[in-house]
A and B are shown apart, each in its own frame.
Chain A
Amino acid sequence: MGTSIRGGWVVDPANGIDEQLDIHVEDGVIVGLGPSPANFEVEREYHVDGNVVCPGLIELRASLREPGQEHKATIASESRAAVRGGITTLCCTPDTDPVVDTPAVVELIHQRAGAVACARVEVQGALTQGLEGSRLSQMGALRDAGCIGVSNAYRVMENTEVVRRAMEYAATFGLTILLFPEDPWLAQDHAAHEGAVGTRLGLPGLAETAETITLARDLLLVEASGVRAHICGLSTARGVEMVAQARARGLPVTADVALPNLFLTEMDVTDFNSACKVRPPLRTQRDREALRQGVHEGTIATLCSAHQPHEPDAKQAPFTEAAPGISGLETLLVLTLRLVDEGLLTLQQAISRVTYEPARVFGLEAGTLSPGRPADICVFDPERHWMLTRERLWSEGRNTPFIGWEFKGEVTHTFVGGRLVYHLEDA
């Protein structure tokens, strides 16, 4: 007994599909596009004329806060927020408490996610034990427990020898390594970009070199080790240039940018707005344009929200003392669509950067609508306008600088494994 999603405009970048088609799903798997396959019995039909049907979105880097920081958010709360934003797979970062450095924590997260039965949750394992940057984690065991890659989250490893060995060991097990380029010494008690605004406000500044020095080190070690690497959260023009050069030399490197860095700049912290405190920091107009150019050209093939939900108290403090991070699951799709409206990307390219490309980073099955693949599908009304308000957010983290922004495009249906997990009531 199957499900058919009829009349939508299907955008499936992996297969180059951009046309009005029906999609047929059986046993949680896509069985055909276009006319229904032979012997297909329709049990349920969804008519979505005028809406876009695309692969469910994949959030590359979500801090889900569970276990250990449930006062900020839970797997349940964030999974629901995810499907509301059209996200069907959350790749969670290992900075939980305890950190994801044993198979037991991986199992725990999978269990919790399974019990919620909303978005899929994939787990990034810790690269080093306790994320402390000195001893390698049990990457083999983590992979066998289902980890899709390894990362040291926002904790940068100081010891170059450990970084090198971690890359070699990850390569041994065929794991993608995620790297966050920030020099721990140059980033000490940083608060904002080191620039004109930071100087005027007296905010301890994070120089461009805090990103580029670590990036240079990591790219050289990636070249030497041959590990498949993904650079998280580029923020500088120079950083984009370095990744472009590395890719041109054939290094197995991909990179992402957190969407807020494509829309905001250092000017947005002018009134000490702690909602705009992020790692890496919002930088200059010039950096923002270079990041956009990198997205346009494909140097930055993946977009993410770098989701970091916080409880209100974490941001209720003077700027330098407020916790960094933005809650972004519910703006991943609409900020991406805004890049289409602004002419930076075609709709195909934009969808690809939040579906197919992030799936490729980890070698996930998701991210396409090919027959045989899991029926993780997002349907959205591309013309619907709405405004983001605090009350509207489903994430436990209300920490977003986009409150009050008008967006175009709203998710109407989200399917995970063929099951409808979100439906906009009045659509």
Chain B
Amino acid sequence: MNLQLTEDGRLRHFLTIEGLDRPLLTRILDTAESFVGVGERAVKKVPLLRGKTIANLFFEPSTRTRSTFELAAKRLSADLLNLSVSASATRKGESLMDTLRNLEAMQCEMFVVRHEASGAAHYIASHVAPHVSVINAGDGRHAHPTQAMLDMFTIRRHKERFEHLKVAIVGDLMHSRVARSQIHALSILGVPEIRVVAPRTLIPPFIENMGVHVYTRLNRGLKDVDVVIMLRLQHERMDSGLLPSEHEYFRYYGLTEERLAVADDNVIVMHPGPMNRGVEIDSDVADGPHSVILQQVTYGIAIRMAVMSMCLGNPPAVEGGEG
């Protein structure tokens, strides 16, 4: 998937983690590191993308991801256009291509795209004008690469290195674009043991081909892990016959303090949000000493600033940067 790289190996689009290499991911993390301080300053802006126009193009509702992209764009001094296009509206008339042509005519340099169809961001990236970059803010079940990178950033801040970690991803892997991107990122960054934990109905077949170990019991899956990533459980899963009830799900797969005790003493608990307290995670854990969930949100802005500035060819100078 070289669609997202320029000929000299720089980021042109950011569509998926798959196919990128460790130096590039490390560079994204290092660049984000340089942006973390920006949010803490009195004037929370750097002029790196002054004069650039970025369009937030969300075909699926989202508050947080969209707001963090918005904040990231503003802190880079870019102009921002927010467009909510409900999928039903595009079905009625205007095709996806027409929407894109219109935005190109408004001279946008970057589209941040969220869409319910897997592959939507690839489709858009392969049809935009040469001067436009596309950032995937989530496509169907396929990928959510900026979320995965902010999770990697959070892990690195707490654990420093990836090469000795055991990481468990718990929950609805079947429908999770976040999990797919996390698995790619963790394995590229050198995590030796990636586990996925869920009932069989929520584990996509052949996921072990992605280099993970499959567990169906939570206590075994959590044993000695350094990082636990909980996934959000959508209410619809009960209706489609994948699970009997939220109550039963919490009983066997909900993360509680007691269950977390089998993990490493310094375990960190992450969640891409929004959380369903009492369904996949107990409040005691979500608000407890191991939780880094709110930090993830803060780091999300820095990661998105990093990816945006790198795609538009104007990242800040980073010490020891490579790739």
Contact = CB atoms under 8 A, between A and B. Distances in A.
A194 B209 CA distance: 13
A200 B18 contact: yes
Interface string B117-134: 111101100000000000
A313 interface: yes
B205 A318 contact: no
A271 B234 CA distance: 28
A150 B119 CA distance: 37
B141 A204 contact: yes
Interface in B184-209: 204-207, 209
B106 to A, nearest CB: 21
Given A316-B95, A317-B96, A321-B117, A199 B207 contact: yes
Contacts of B143: 202
B142 A202 contact: yes
Contacts of A313: 95
A347 interface: no
Max chain B CB contacts within 10 Å: which of A191, A202, A271? Answer: A202
B140 interface: yes
Given A313-B95, A318-B96, A320-B140, A201 B205 contact: no
- 9 A-B pairs with least C-beta separation: A202-B141, A202-B142, A272-B119, A318-B117, A196-B206, A318-B120, A202-B118, A199-B204, A319-B119
A118 to B, nearest CB: 33
Contacts of B207: 199
A252 interface: no
Interface residues of A, number: 23
Interface in B1-35: 1, 3, 18
For A196, A203, A207, A318, which residue has the most chain B Cβ atoms within 10 angstroms?
Answer: A318
Contacts of B139: 202, 318
B114 interface: no
A205 interface: yes
Contacts of A321: 117
Interface in A229-274: 271-272, 274
A316 B209 CA distance: 30
B123 A272 contact: yes
Interface string A201-218: 111110100000000000
B177 interface: yes
A320 B139 CA distance: 11
B117 A201 contact: no
A195 interface: yes
A200 B180 contact: yes
Most buried by A among B18, B95, B118, B142: B118
B115 interface: yes
A195, A199, A274 interface centre (most CB from chain B within 10 Å): A199
Given A195-B205, A200-B209, A203-B142, 13 more contacts: A195-B206, A201-B118, A203-B119, A203-B141, A271-B3, A272-B118, A274-B123, A316-B95, A317-B96, A319-B117, A319-B118, A319-B123, A320-B119
B269 to A, nearest CB: 25
Contact of A320 (B3, B118, B209): B118
Contacts, number: 73
26 contacts: A195-B205, A195-B206, A199-B204, A199-B206, A199-B207, A199-B209, A200-B180, A200-B209, A201-B118, A202-B118, A202-B141, A203-B119, A203-B140, A205-B205, A272-B118, A272-B119, A272-B123, A274-B123, A316-B97, A317-B123, A318-B96, A318-B120, A318-B122, A318-B140, A320-B119, A320-B140
A318 B209 contact: no
A207 B143 CA distance: 22
Given A272-B122, A318-B117, A201 B142 contact: yes
Contacts of B95: 313, 316-317
A318 B177 contact: no
Interface of A: 191, 194-196, 198-205, 207, 271-272, 274, 313, 316-321
A194 B118 contact: no
Contact of B205 (A194, A202, A203): A194
B261 interface: no
A202 B143 CA distance: 8
> Which of B139, B140, B207, B209 has the most chain A CB atoms inside 10 A of its CB?
B140
A318 B209 CA distance: 24
B140 A202 contact: yes
Nearest to B209: A196
B92 to A, nearest CB: 14
B210 interface: yes
Contacts of A194: 205
Nearest to B119: A272
Contacts of B3: 271
Nearest to A284: B206
A318 B123 contact: yes
B80 to A, nearest CB: 24
Given A313-B95, A318-B115, A202 B180 contact: yes
Nearest to A316: B97
Contacts of A198: 204
Contacts of A202: 118, 139-143, 177, 180
Given A202-B142, A202-B143, A316-B95, A271 B122 contact: yes
Interface in B80-111: 95-97
Contacts of B97: 316
Contacts of A319: 117-119, 123
Contacts of B142: 201-203
Nearest to A192: B118
A319 B124 CA distance: 11
Interface in B239-266: none
Contacts of B119: 201, 203, 272, 318-320
A313 B90 CA distance: 13
A57 B164 CA distance: 63
Interface centre among A195, A205, A320 (most CB of B within 10 A): A320
Contacts of A201: 118-119, 142
A191 B139 CA distance: 14
A271 B118 contact: no
Contacts of A196: 206, 209
B15 to A, nearest CB: 10
Nearest to A200: B210
A317 B100 CA distance: 12
Contacts of A200: 18, 180, 209-210
A272 B96 CA distance: 16
A321 B91 CA distance: 10
